[in-house]
Amino acid sequence: MSQQRHEELKKLIRHHDHLYHVLDRPEIQDLEYDRLYAELVQLEEANPSYDRSDSPTLRVGSAPLDLFKKVPHRTPMLSLQNSYSPEDLIEFDARIKKFLRKDNPVQYFCEPKFDGLAVELIYEQGLFKQALTRGDGAVGEDVTENVRTIRSVPLRLKGSNPPPLLEVRGEILMFKEDFKYLNEQQQENGQPTFANPRNASAGTVRQLDSKVAASRPLRFFAYALGVVEGKTFSSQQEIAEFLKQEGFPVAEEHSSLAENPDEVVAYYHKIDTHRSKLPFDIDGIVVKVNSLTLQEDLGLVARSPRWASAAKFKPEQAQTLVETIQIQVGRTGALTPVAVMKPVKVGGVTVTNATLHNQEEIQRKDVRIGDTVIVQRAGDVIPEIVSVVLDKRPTDSMPFLMPTECPSCGSSVRVVEGEVVARCVNPLCEAVLKESLKHFVSRRAMNMEKIGDRLIETLVDQKLLTRFSDFFRLKKEDLLGLERQGEKSVENILKSVETSKQTTLGRFIFSLGIRFVGETTAKHLADHFLTIQALQKASAEDLIAVPEIGPKVAVAVREWFENSKLNQEIDQMIELGVSIQGPQRSSEGPLSGKSFVITGTLPVKRDEAKDLIEKNGGKILSSVSSKLDFLVVGDDPGSKADKAQSLGVKIISWDDLQAMLT
Ligand code: IVH
């Protein structure tokens, strides 16, 4: 009986995963999904003999590997002939016709060229068995455990009659938005950031701890087949259709058939103009002869098929001079080298600074002060130094070395074993202090609206700020003595300090800037401990007992609260009037079980509206989907309202929301 339920649950969750992660069209509430999932976990824990080989519970990652196994591909993963201009596509078509001795038009299947990491997924009897990187094309690396964590990779094919063997080829990538968020989190946690979405994806797939992979927002798109047993196809389009039927994400809306070379060129231009609006990076288009019979006739040249060609887009790049390399000291003491360049326009935006991430990255690219470099905008936003123009390197240039002393306080810098980030370990370092204070007052932390970065720098320089609690000791006279501070602005500053005193436990914990404790973790801690005093007293065991908290976070939190100076800071802030509101047991309330998204301008601040909804048991979602219960619209709503309307989501006003609370 329970074994039957186990199979049923796996199937149900698979179905909802597909709706959510592949089709972006969920049908059930998160809560309902979580319940099914919890039931599955429980069943599997109680019955270790049940078949977990296709279970979604395996997506959380497993024990780290020592090394990736090398595995030969059954049929080589080829490369593509590249060209850089649409004219080359016309030549490509001419070559094909000449080879085939054919005058009538050849039909092409055109797709975006995904800028990620090529992999092969192997399915036996419909079950996901293995994932290999492309490697050198002949032999790849076994990255099965990492790829299993990717929610858009089906663990079981959807079709009822699966081929005994199916090899699916495609690309692993990260959406631009997910990449941006990941880098923000990396920075927040004092971890190295990634140069672009492709590096982030490749680095994630090729690291040994699949738990890390599980925590990163990877995606998969399928575009080709390797060996298939028991099934044949006649065209590329048919393959794409089959992949979709079997549950794989394909670039359906962005692919297109072309009847002649002019249509191929038109496709190239269409995708190029569309490129920045796509949610993921692409670096060109791939054009494939649609007929598989013709593909066979055409065969290979060297390691590339004669029947396919990639036309790359001209990257948005420019050359400029590295004037200096500055070292920024972050809140966690992390030292980040930043290239300061002669301003240059790249794709319509003026670029001056580009992060060089860390010593390893500087060495790899060998960027030096005085170098002429090629910059491009990675992921369409962040400027990145691609390479050095060696011909233009001054003869007296020297490799850049990270300082061994903190540029701010002069303490020695430490590189922790196994990490690439160099850190200033002086807790009293002025740069670390300034960054910590900036974080403390920031919008999502204590939210002292009128206190900007410049003011903090001045106040620290003037020794008016040496610790968090000093904000609450600021006096009118102190501020009036500063340059460019009039009566009115001083009043506003003091008012925003005063307002910030009413805060929530989640915000307060987040604002302390404890390593690895981002906004979400802070919220989990608040929900669990309910008061700051309980958290202050929590032992390492108490902390690890919180489901969302791992040992790394537990140690960081413990260390922070073991510091008696920091603990005293908390007491003093409370004495100075900071009032920390513990979380309301929010699952109960007039809005419980209902989900909300807010759009447009409301009569109150966004965060206030969110707090109100959560306090009353409602849940805030980040985007509109069919599983959303209510869209709350204010003035000037954007496209979310249209989307909600088309999905049949209830649209309510601020007043309607108020009415629901009574
Ligand atoms: S088809 C050889 N389709 O291009 C033909 N490849 O140079 C089989 N790629 O490493 C590949 N997007 O990473 C194909 N829509 C697409 C593609 C694509 C990106 C990459 C793939 C491979 C490289 C081949």
> All domains of the chain, ordered by start, with CATH?
2-60 (1.10.287.610), 82-312 (3.30.470.30), 317-401 (2.40.50.140), 430-500 (1.10.150.20), 504-581 (1.10.150.20), 595-660 (3.40.50.10190)
Q: Are 320 and 388 in contact (CB under 8 A)?
A: no
- pLDDT for 572 equals 96
* Cβ partners under 8 Å of residue 514, min gap 6: 556, 557, 560
Is 113 a catalytic site residue?
yes
Structure token digits, residue 25 = 């069209």
**pLDDT band at residue 288 under the 50/70/90 scheme:** very high
- pLDDT for 249 equals 96
- pLDDT for 536 equals 95
For the CA of 288, the nearest atom of ligand 1? 1
Nearest CA to ligand 1 atom 23: 79
* Angle, CA 312 vertex, CA 311 and CA 314 arms, to 5°: 135
For the CA of 78, the nearest atom of ligand 1? 2
* Distance from C-alpha of 453 to C-alpha of 335, rounded to nearest angstrom: 19
Question: Among 79-93, 212-226, 311-325, which range has the highest average pLDDT?
Answer: 212-226
Convert the pLDDT of each residue in 162-199 to its tens digit.
999 999 999 999 998 899 889 878 876 767 788 789 98
- The partner residues of 124 in beta bridges, in order of sequence, read 127, 165
* Distance from C-alpha of 613 to C-alpha of 593, rounded to nearest angstrom: 11
Question: Among 213-217, 289-293, 300-304, 316-320, which range has the highest average pLDDT?
Answer: 289-293
List, as one string, the DSSP characters of 29-47.
Answer: -HHHHHHHHHHHHHHHHH-
Nearest CA to ligand 1 atom 17: 113
For the CA of 113, the nearest atom of ligand 1? 12
How far apart, in Å, are the Cα atoms of 330 and each of 38, 187, 367, 429? 39, 9, 22, 11
Structure token digits, residue 399 = 């490799």
* Distance from C-alpha of 64 to C-alpha of 208, rounded to nearest angstrom: 5
Cβ neighbourhood burial of 380 (10 Å; 0-12, 13-18, 19+): middle
How far apart, in Å, are the Cα atoms of 88 and each of 98, 255, 270, 305? 15, 20, 17, 16
Nearest CA to ligand 1 atom 10: 118
Mapped onto helix, strand or coil, the DSSP state of residue 289 is strand
- pLDDT for 485 equals 84
Q: How many residues does the chain have?
A: 662
Distance from Cα 170 to the centre of ligand 1, integer Å: 7
* Distance from C-alpha of 98 to C-alpha of 469, rounded to nearest angstrom: 79
Percent of residues, the chain, with pLDDT higher than 90: 62
Q: φ, ψ for residue 266 (rounded to 5)?
A: -65, -40
* Cβ partners under 8 Å of residue 71, min gap 6: 130, 132, 139, 140, 141, 142
Percent of residues, the chain, with pLDDT higher than 70: 98
Distance from Cα 79 to the centre of ligand 1, integer Å: 7
Question: Among 47-56, 471-480, 597-606, 612-621, which range has the highest average pLDDT?
Answer: 471-480
With 80 as the cut, is the pLDDT of residue 390 above it?
A: yes
Strand pairing category for 165-174 and 502-504: unpaired
Distance from Cα 215 to the centre of ligand 1, integer Å: 26
Nearest CA to ligand 1 atom 3: 223
Which of 66, 54, 49 lies closest to 12 in space, CA to CA? 54
Mapped onto helix, strand or coil, the DSSP state of residue 389 is coil
* Distance from C-alpha of 78 to C-alpha of 310, rounded to nearest angstrom: 13
Kindly report the average pLDDT of the chain as a whole number: 90
Mapped onto helix, strand or coil, the DSSP state of residue 495 is helix
With 90 as the cut, is the pLDDT of residue 93 above it?
A: yes
With 80 as the cut, is the pLDDT of residue 284 above it?
A: yes
Convert the pLDDT of each residue in 394-441 to its tens digit.
999 999 999 999 999 999 999 877 778 899 988 789 999 999 999 999
pTM of the predicted protein model: 0.64
Average pLDDT over residues 570-583: 94
Q: Given the structure tokens 């992949």, which residue do they identify?
A: 243
Instruction: Provide the 10 A C-beta neighbour count for residue 291.
Output: 19
**pLDDT band at residue 381 under the 50/70/90 scheme:** low
Mutation choice for ligand 1 from 223, 252, 253, 309, CB with most ligand atoms inside 8 A: 223
Average pLDDT over residues 490-514: 95
For the CA of 118, the nearest atom of ligand 1? 13
| Active-site position among 98, 102, 113, 270 | 113
48-57, 137-146, 530-539, 582-591: which range is least confident on average?
582-591
Strand order in the sheet with 630-633: 619-620, 595-599, 630-633, 650-653
- pLDDT for 380 equals 58
Q: φ, ψ for residue 304 (rounded to 5)?
A: -125, 145
With 90 as the cut, is the pLDDT of residue 494 above it?
A: yes
Cα 581 to its chain centre, rounded Å, is 31
Convert the pLDDT of each residue in 586-639 to its tens digit.
567 888 878 899 988 888 887 788 888 888 888 887 778 887 899 999 888 778
Mapped onto helix, strand or coil, the DSSP state of residue 177 is helix
Average pLDDT over residues 275-297: 93
Q: Which amino acid does the sequence have at 271?
A: I
Structure token digits, residue 588 = 């109960």
Q: Are 235 and 108 in contact (CB under 8 A)?
A: no
* Distance from C-alpha of 380 to C-alpha of 277, rounded to nearest angstrom: 10
Which of 496, 424, 484, 495 lies closest to 454 in space, CA to CA? 484
Which of 448, 438, 469 lies closest to 571 in space, CA to CA? 469
How far apart, in Å, are the Cα atoms of 573 and each of 247, 523, 629? 55, 20, 40
Mapped onto helix, strand or coil, the DSSP state of residue 71 is strand
Residues near ligand 1 with C-beta < 6 Å?
78-80, 111, 113-114, 118, 134, 171, 223-224, 286, 305, 308
Q: Given the structure tokens 């047993």, which residue do they identify?
A: 229
With 60 as the cut, is the pLDDT of residue 476 above it?
A: yes
Average pLDDT over residues 227-242: 96
- pLDDT for 433 equals 94
Mutation choice for ligand 1 from 75, 84, 109, 171, CB with most ligand atoms inside 8 A: 171
* Cβ partners under 8 Å of residue 54, min gap 6: 10, 14, 127, 128, 155, 156
- pLDDT for 586 equals 54
Mutation choice for ligand 1 from 113, 198, 309, CB with most ligand atoms inside 8 A: 113
Distance from Cα 562 to the centre of ligand 1, integer Å: 53
**pLDDT band at residue 378 under the 50/70/90 scheme:** low
Instruction: Provide the 10 A C-beta neighbour count for residue 426.
Output: 19
For the CA of 112, the nearest atom of ligand 1? 15
Nearest CA to ligand 1 atom 21: 118
Name the more confident of 355 and 417: 355
Structure token digits, residue 436 = 């910590």
Average pLDDT over residues 341-350: 85
- pLDDT for 502 equals 95
Distance from Cα 20 to the centre of ligand 1, integer Å: 26
